[in-house]
Structure 1
Amino acid sequence: MKLKFLITSLLVSSVIIGGCSASSSKSDETMDHSKMTKEEMSNMEGMDHSNMSGKNMETMNGHESHTNPLALNHSTGENELALPPLLEAKDGIFTITAQQGTSEIFKGINTETYGYNGSYLGPVIKINEGQKVTFKTNNQLSEPTTFHWHGVDIPGEGDGGPHHLLQPGDTKNVKFTVKQGASTLWFHPHPVGATAEQVYKGLAGLIYVEDEHSKKLGLPSEYGVNDFPLVFQDRKFDDNKQLNFKAAMNEDGTIGDTLLINGTVNPKLTVGKEKVRLRLLNGSNARNYTFKLNTGDSFQQIATDGGFLNKPISMNELSLTPGERAEIIIDFSKYNKSTDISLMNEEDIKLMPFNIVDKKSETSSDSLKNLNNYVVTDEERKLPVSKKLELFGMGKMVTINNKQFDMNRIDFTQKQGETEIWEIYNKPDMMGGMTHPFHIHGTQFKILSIDGKEPPTNEYGWKDTVAIDAGETVRLAVKFNNKGIYMFHCHILEHEENGMMGQVKVE
């Protein structure tokens, strides 16, 4: 299981003031490690937090320590899970509008929120391999935004990174041909300095890619009956039940105590006595989740970020860092209607109870096998490392290769259609460091190794985000099918905004 939030903040010399301090006069500045002296870097790496009092740690962080993140609430199960609407194309055109509104998350209270085609979150966009599509994007917010298609194999000009700002009132058409297989992807904003807050307020939606093979597998696929999207987000509401991001914000990743699944607080999910497919998205700014059943029973994982595993993998628990997705199958046919069964996290917090009824859909499947033909080739294993990245730091003191993001700087170049090996090292500090979920835009990559060893069997599939623990080195086989400029970054949204991001130009 991936290490969960082994996080402390960094202290630096008197010359450098850490961005996590709420009282810092430089809390809004961007720190650049590339301009630090060797002595300053040494001081930063060598600091020992172990003798600090809890009060001093809290003062330094300015918010709750990520070493012991806020515990989530138990779901009371009083509200049936909301389902995002399915967005249908009209002549191949999907219209997607970012807008402001209010949502009744808590009964009788209007919370100011953002959403796509609605007041909170977005629809599920269903597209098919080989389909020519147009995403007609429209910004009705009062601030600039972008539309980033996370996990989509798309030309750089349509990727929706920070270069592609859409001003209030503007519209842009993103046209491309779907060139990837069945998968569960998602979309969210990516403007510099505003990504974390816009996602926090509700800008996120799912993309389902289907192909001819997936339609023949007999998987649970009846939307809202035995095939459910689950968008997990933790939030912290103020006394007025508002999403006050600036009050909750933590430079090391904003953590909340209230879980929303598909925007529903205290959710439950009603299912039939059959196999049920759950598409999990960790849509949180920073929180990691380890999912399990309170019964201790196993479930089957059938897909990673970018598509199906070759065959179902039996799991007792599954960990996802921000940005990661997975599809799982739970067999409810073996339970009684009175069975107390819930989805839990690693702290035994009840995330969502299930309500079992006798109803059974017509698309239920008895066996699942031969889902995909994913393979890591001998040629890929023999390729030399061509790109090395070092992730380091916390709070505002985060870097990749000792540099912070510069929109005018291209960090790497790569040839279109050629596979290269990226080696990413998560450099720990004296207190151990923290897990960084590493994401590359515009591609699905293969995990070749983690610290020289084969990845877990449930990660032997297409990925666009990989959790890298402190001290770990991960090797990825990366190929871009399109030209353009793409981001790579930590998917803790506050780290991304603080500079843990770079750019690769594909030519």
Structure 2
Amino acid sequence: MVSLLNPLTIDKYKNPLPNLLQPGLFIDARRKGKYTITMSQGTHDFGLGEGIPLAQTWGYHSPSAPTWDAAGLNYLGPTIVAQKGKPITINWQSKLPKKHLLPVDTTIHWAYTGTNYSISKDGVPVVAHLHGGKSKSKYDGLPDAWFTSTGQGGKLAINKGATQAYKYYNDQQAATIWYHDHALGITRLNVYAGLAGFYILRDNHDTGRPDNPKTSRIENALPGNYVNFDYQGDSRKDPDVYYEYPIVIQDKIFTADGQLFYPASNADLAAAGLEAMLPPSAPNPSVIPEFGSGNVILVNGKAWPLLDVEPRKYRFRLLNGSDSRFYSLQLEKGLDFYQIGTDLGLLNKPVKLSQLELAPGQRADVIVDFKGYQGETLILNNFAGGITSEPIPNNPDTTGQIMAFKVGNQVTVADTPLPTTLRGGKGQPDALPTYTGLVTDQKIIQKFNDGIDWLDQTFVASSKNPKKPDFTKIVKDPLTGLPIAKQLALFENPSDDFGRITPMLGTIRDGALMWHDPITEYVQLGDTEIWEIYNTTRDSHPIHLHEAGFQLLSRQDFTATQIDPLAPLTNIQYQGAATPAAPQEAGILDTVVIEPGEVIRVAATFELPGEYVWHCHILSHEDNEMMRPYEILAPGANPLAAMDHLHTSVLI
């Protein structure tokens, strides 16, 4: 049995938190331009303790972030800072070796399924996805757009080379976005090895400058960074100070010699002190239902780090970059979070929270005020689950702690009050829409309750089924009264061909569907639709939608009848009243959590044509069938001409 590192042997709060917005560590892409980012293998110091060897890791590198390599950062990637309205091109280049750092399960549907390719001969499939970016389909980093260092490529790759040029138009409001690998069936492993990084989009309302921006029309500035900034009158003596930090939280397991460990068998789980999750018939290596077993917390690539702060306000852009672990974050001694933004931009006003929930893939933009805590060290704790929680335990001595803040006694730059409004005031972006006036075009609504396929009648003249849809039966969102365009569902297959649990997606009409099944969700370009998603599983799932940011309209409990766990839903009964989005999730989202036995409704506008995907952002789930394609139809497009996305190219 492999020997694993005991996380209790790691000294907490000794590693300084890496500042991912420090000059030289980020790519300044605020002007139009082209940037090269390579993926390669190297060694990284996770701060596990003296005498423990450096770990073999993967990371992103760029000559536009020269200090990144000089600092020996071979894990994650430099933050990309871009500007709204300033498109950029990134040449993503693979220089990865022909051997994976982690065990690859080739029995699931992955990039090389149905091919003669192998990693030892053709290299590791990779593709960069800008999570939260409004990207054209061909630049989205779709799972079938993978490519390798040897020039092999998936059917949606731009070319068959080792470099893919992706253009990002940055045509959206300022937000905390991130980039990570998204290759089919191997995402969980590539991200775990290190392929992820921040992408901070700025605009005129959220500049990141110290004044952010300071004008007579701005109520109060948000915390920014003072880099080469003369704030006391002598630019030669004024030190750089930082009040804004991107923070990515991940959980890992390490071998005794400091290498990344990813369990792929019951024996591996036993070595990590966890219960078996795989049947005896499972292959080795095998995908496991959820990787929630990490016992070492990393923040910005360091184990349980420490950040020295001044007794004033700071802005933290939090990202849950874990495979499966949810976080419920709480600061010691009653210190509150003031959430100012969600995945894709600012809220209308700050929301005060004593505890902050963060699912895989989600971001939260928060302000923390350390005033009054001079001389204290405050721990950021995680209260999601307990030590006996299955399959993701939370030990208060390890995963129950995230990082620490050591509060000094002096303030370098004077603080300003927290803004009472963030949107809708003078000099601020427009207030978020409430969708009370949303109009959904009824002609493209898919009917599920009268057995009529509206797409068939729209695009195919058929005399066999001349009946017209009865729009009086259209399901509506109970809070807005607006019609539902899509009715989708989350399923769980209790036993695949190897007896493993497999999470899946589908529709309430069709039941569970595989990744390779024909597309069932078509959207007309430019339309705004309400999607309704039911969770029939026993787990909470963070659902992510590519291309379109959305707003959560309502949540509601339900019961339904199914003849088996993968069957369509009938006799749906709602339990209790629908509730609107909580204040902290009432912004623009790209990832939303659906609890067991819950249905949610979200509203999204679809603005770019082509094929995209929606999926669970538990990486172990999306890699194993919990992902489905959908298509935004360009004017005049006929989806019935190519119903199977495996045999058509719809990239635009």
Report TM bin, short chain: 0.7 to 0.9
Q: What is the aligned partner in structure 2 of residue 130 from structure 1?
A: 85
Q: What is the aligned partner in structure 1 of residue 222 from structure 2?
A: 219
Change (3 A) 1:405 1:125: farther
The whole-number CA distance in structure 2 between the counterparts of 1:388 and 1:279 is 33
**What letter is aligned with 2:369?**
D
Report the alpha carbon displacement of residue 299 of structure 1 after superposing the two structures with TM: 2.1
TM-score, normalised to structure 2, is: 0.64
Q: Structure 1 residue aligned with 2:417, among 366, 371, 389?
A: 366
**What letter is aligned with 1:93?**
K
The whole-number CA distance in structure 2 between the counterparts of 1:314 and 1:363 is 22
Q: Matches of residues 89-488 of structure 1 in structure 2 within 5 Å? A: 89=29, 92-105=33-46, 106=48, 107-108=50-51, 109-117=53-61, 118-142=73-97, 143-168=124-149, 170-215=162-207, 216=213, 218-222=221-225, 225-245=242-262, 246=264, 247=268, 250-337=288-375, 339-346=376-383, 349-362=400-413, 364-372=415-423, 373-380=431-438, 381-393=480-492, 396-401=501-506, 402-407=511-516, 409-428=518-537, 433-451=538-556, 452-488=578-614
The whole-number CA distance in structure 2 between the counterparts of 1:160 and 1:363 is 43
- Contact 1:183-1:307 within 8 A present in 2 as well: yes
Report the alpha carbon displacement of residue 363 of structure 1 after superposing the two structures with TM: 7.2
The whole-number CA distance in structure 2 between the counterparts of 1:116 and 1:262 is 14
Residues 163-192 of structure 1: CA distance to partner in whole angstroms, max 9, x if unpaired? 211221511111132111111010111111
SS at match of 2:290: coil
Q: Matches of residues 494-505 of structure 1 in structure 2 within 5 Å? A: 494-505=620-631
Deviates more, 1:250-259 or 1:195-204: 250-259
The whole-number CA distance in structure 1 between the counterparts of 2:203 and 2:331 is 31
Report the alpha carbon displacement of residue 250 of structure 1 after superposing the two structures with TM: 3.0
Deviates more, 1:91-100 or 1:306-315: 91-100
- Contact 1:183-1:305 within 8 A present in 2 as well: yes
- Contact 1:274-1:333 within 8 A present in 2 as well: yes
Mark the structure with the bigger radius of gyration.
Answer: 2
Q: What is the aligned partner in structure 1 of residue 573 from structure 2?
A: none
The whole-number CA distance in structure 2 between the counterparts of 1:449 and 1:361 is 44
Deviates more, 1:403-412 or 1:229-238: 403-412
Change (3 A) 1:219 1:73: farther
**What letter is aligned with 1:222?**
N
Change (3 A) 1:253 1:140: same
Q: What is the aligned partner in structure 2 of residue 43 from structure 1?
A: none
Report the alpha carbon displacement of residue 71 of structure 1 after superposing the two structures with TM: 10
The whole-number CA distance in structure 1 between the counterparts of 2:412 and 2:631 is 47
Q: Matches of residues 76-91 of structure 1 in structure 2 within 5 Å? A: 76-84=12-20, 85-89=25-29
**What letter is aligned with 2:28?**
E
Residues 172-216 of structure 1: CA distance to partner in whole angstroms, max 9, x if unpaired? 111132111111010111111210011111111001011101132
Report the alpha carbon displacement of residue 361 of structure 1 after superposing the two structures with TM: 4.5
- Contact 1:126-1:208 within 8 A present in 2 as well: yes
Deviates more, 1:163-172 or 1:451-460: 163-172
Instruction: State the identity %.
Output: 34
Change (3 A) 1:212 1:468: same
Report the alpha carbon displacement of residue 454 of structure 1 after superposing the two structures with TM: 0.6
Q: What is the aligned partner in structure 2 of residue 46 from structure 1?
A: none
TM-score, normalised to structure 1, is: 0.81
* Unmatched 5+ stretches in structure 2: 1-5, 62-72, 98-123, 151-161, 208-212, 214-219, 227-240, 270-286, 387-395, 424-430, 439-479, 494-499, 557-577, 634-652
The whole-number CA distance in structure 1 between the counterparts of 2:26 and 2:193 is 21
Change (3 A) 1:285 1:147: same
The whole-number CA distance in structure 2 between the counterparts of 1:317 and 1:234 is 20
Residues 58-94 of structure 1: CA distance to partner in whole angstroms, max 9, x if unpaired? xxxxxxxxxxxx9999972111112232112385223
The whole-number CA distance in structure 2 between the counterparts of 1:73 and 1:182 is 41
Residues 462-489 of structure 1: CA distance to partner in whole angstroms, max 9, x if unpaired? 0000011101110000212211211101
- Contact 2:32-2:86 within 8 A present in 1 as well: no
- Contact 1:253-1:495 within 8 A present in 2 as well: no
Report the alpha carbon displacement of residue 379 of structure 1 after superposing the two structures with TM: 2.5
SS at match of 1:197: helix
Report the alpha carbon displacement of residue 390 of structure 1 after superposing the two structures with TM: 0.9
**What letter is aligned with 1:83?**
N
- Contact 1:254-1:494 within 8 A present in 2 as well: no
Aligned length: 433
Residues 417-475 of structure 1: CA distance to partner in whole angstroms, max 9, x if unpaired? 111110011113xxxx1100000011210000011211111011000000111011100
- Contact 1:438-1:466 within 8 A present in 2 as well: yes
The whole-number CA distance in structure 1 between the counterparts of 2:512 and 2:414 is 51
Change (3 A) 1:250 1:336: same
The whole-number CA distance in structure 2 between the counterparts of 1:483 and 1:263 is 37
- Contact 2:609-2:631 within 8 A present in 1 as well: yes
- Contact 2:374-2:409 within 8 A present in 1 as well: no
Change (3 A) 1:371 1:83: same
Q: What is the aligned partner in structure 1 of residue 158 from structure 2?
A: none
